Amino acid sequence: MNMNKWHYPGGKLRELGADSLSEAELLAILISAGIKGRPALKIAEEVLERFGSLSQMANQPLERFLDIKGLSDVKIIRIAAAFEIARRIIKETLSHGKEK
């Protein structure tokens, strides 16, 4: 299947499911729009390159994201909220596992 069929990761997610996306593509969806000359996917790739992985990214203070060109406060807050949702899901899952 031609991977260039999708112009945006959101279309790929809709057609193939979330598990078909790379970490950079998932992050690009949260970033939403890029800036002139830097699409969201390029920004996402830079973020992952800088921090090494999603889990290492999740443990960074928000200020560490401010010097990445194309990440505004709104985009950084959106990413932080997604990580917090993931933490709460994990916490809830682990606490339900202990109850059994």
65, with CB counted inside 10 A (0-12, 13-18, 19+), is buried
Q: pLDDT tens digits, residue range 8-31?
A: 899 999 999 999 999 999 999 999
User: 2 — alpha (psi -120 to 50), left (phi > 0) or beta?
Assistant: beta
The pLDDT value given to residue 8: 84
9 contacts 25 by C-beta, under 8 angstroms: yes
pLDDT, position 2 = 44
pLDDT number for residue 41: 95
Contacts of 16 (CB under 8 A, 6+ apart): none
Q: pLDDT digits over 46-73, tens only?
A: 999 999 999 999 889 988 999 899 999 9
Q: Which CATH class is domain 3-99?
A: mainly alpha
Query: What pLDDT score was predicted for residue 100?
Result: 56
Q: How far is the C-alpha of 40 from the C-alpha of 48, rounded, in Å?
A: 12
Provide the residue ranges of all domains of the chain, joining segments of one domain with +. 3-99
